[in-house]
């Protein structure tokens, strides 16, 4: 794993032995994590891994049962208000008031955070320009596309100038062009504002350019490092095979074993052994519909470590119910 100093004052996020339980289920099991300042950080995990619980604790929505967490030097348990001032949050579910205009949504957020009028106006102008919504500043949000709404949510989360931006599945449901645009805005923001960005996503290819990636499973961080470090340490060359019939699938599994059965029914096989391609095609070439070979990637790292594909949703029902209940009581 990547080594970082754990001094809270020198890092954006420092988590030590963080624990959370839902009844008998352990959602977080003594998690330790350090995210340096001005880092593009991605947290990946399969369904029910504890990813959403960890994010909600760091955003002060949930309380941990044990351990400590610091955001920009503030202890989230002892200094929650100070911690909240240092973070901006964009949740997966839309949270804009679609009866208001883009400007009114941003202005209201600035007033909640006690941003001075002059700073509020300047910040709104700058952020609307950055996310290319200045021509829609007085348009009612219900007329916006999904991509426009997500860009406005990012602008809103940054209006009070937080040091850390949390984004939970920021590009889910968006087309490829909108997704690429979101990542471009985030990269620009980070360079301009010395901002730490923490993102969860089920589009694993989107985190290839992140500085640091942590993979969580069964409530524990099981791997941590840059994408290249993770691929070097855990990645494997794999073959994705589609058998012609169940008998062939059974024979392939018995012969080579499988890393994972994909959602489309194909088998993902460890193909890192010397001469694998020739041996496999020589024996099964006429009995398969198609085969493709993949070099080590973050997807192969994820499969190797968790035995699962990255799911579309990052939280199990325990996590979602717990977070929703606490948000309801706060509103």
Q: Can you tell me the distance from the alpha carbon of 188 to that of 181, in angstroms, rounded to the nearest whole number?
A: 11
Quickly name the fold that domain 236-295 has: Alpha-Beta Plaits (3.30.70)
Query: Helix or strand or coil: residue 145?
Result: coil
DSSP 171-214: TTT--HHHHHHHHHHHHHHHHHHT-EEEEE-S-GGGGTT-SEEE
Query: Helix or strand or coil: residue 5?
Result: coil
Do the beta carbons of residue 312 and residue 202 sit within 8 Å? yes
Boundaries of every domain in the chain: 8-97+143-230, 236-295
Q: Can you tell me the distance from the alpha carbon of 139 to that of 267, in angstroms, rounded to the nearest whole number?
A: 49
Strand partners, 35: 13
- The CA R_g of the chain, rounded to the nearest whole Å, is 22
Q: Can you tell me the distance from the alpha carbon of 150 to that of 171, in angstroms, rounded to the nearest whole number?
A: 8
| CATH superfamily to which 8-97+143-230 belongs | P-loop containing nucleotide triphosphate hydrolases (3.40.50.300)
pTM of the model: 0.78
Taking only the tens of pLDDT, the chain with its 331 residues reads 555 556 666 799 999 999 999 999 999 999 999 999 999 999 998 888 899 899 999 999 999 999 999 999 999 999 999 999 999 999 888 889 999 999 999 999 999 999 999 999 999 999 999 899 999 999 999 999 988 999 999 999 999 999 999 998 888 778 888 888 888 888 888 888 889 999 988 788 888 889 999 999 999 999 999 999 998 888 878 888 999 999 999 999 888 877 677 777 788 888 888 888 998 999 999 999 999 888 888 887 887 788 766 543 434 444 444 444 444 444 3
Do the beta carbons of residue 56 and residue 320 sit within 8 Å? no
């Amino acid at each position: 794993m990547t080594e970082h100093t754990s001094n809270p004052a020198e890092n954006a996020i420092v988590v030590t032995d963080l624990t959370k339980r839902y009844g008998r289920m352990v959602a977080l099991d003594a998690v330790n994590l350090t995210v340096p300042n001005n880092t593009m950080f991605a947290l990946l995990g399969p369904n029910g891994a504890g990813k959403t619980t960890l994010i909600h604790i760091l955003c002060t929505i949930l309380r941990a049962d044990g351990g400590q967490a610091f955001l920009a030097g503030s202890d989230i348990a002892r200094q929650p208000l100070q911690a909240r001032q240092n973070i901006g949050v964009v949740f997966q579910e839309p949270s804009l008031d679609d009866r208001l205009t883009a400007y009114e949504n941003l202005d209201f957020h600035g007033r909640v955070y006690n941003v001075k009028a002059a700073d509020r106006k300047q910040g709104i102008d700058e952020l609307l320009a950055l996310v290319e919504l200045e021509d829609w500043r007085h348009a009612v949000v219900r007329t916006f596309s999904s991509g426009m709404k997500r860009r406005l949510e990012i602008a809103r989360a940054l209006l009070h100038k937080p040091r850390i931006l949390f984004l939970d599945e920021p590009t889910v449901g968006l087309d490829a062009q909108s997704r690429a645009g979101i990542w471009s805005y985030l990269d620009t923001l980070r360079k301009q504002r010395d901002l730490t960005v923490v993102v969860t996503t089920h589009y694993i290819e989107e985190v290839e350019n992140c500085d640091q990636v942590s993979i969580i499973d069964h409530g524990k961080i099981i791997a941590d490092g840059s994408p290249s470090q993770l691929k070097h340490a855990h990645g494997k060359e794999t073959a994705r095979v589609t058998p012609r019939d169940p008998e062939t699938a059974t024979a392939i599994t018995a012969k080579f074993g499988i890393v994972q059965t994909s959602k489309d029914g194909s088998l993902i096989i460890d193909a890192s052994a010397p001469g694998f391609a020739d041996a496999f095609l020589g024996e099964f070439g006429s009995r398969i519909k198609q085969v493709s070979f993949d070099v080590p990637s973050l997807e192969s790292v994820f499969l190797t470590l968790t035995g699962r594909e990255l799911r579309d949703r990052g939280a199990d029902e325990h996590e979602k119910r717990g977070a929703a209940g606490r948000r309801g009581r706060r509103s």
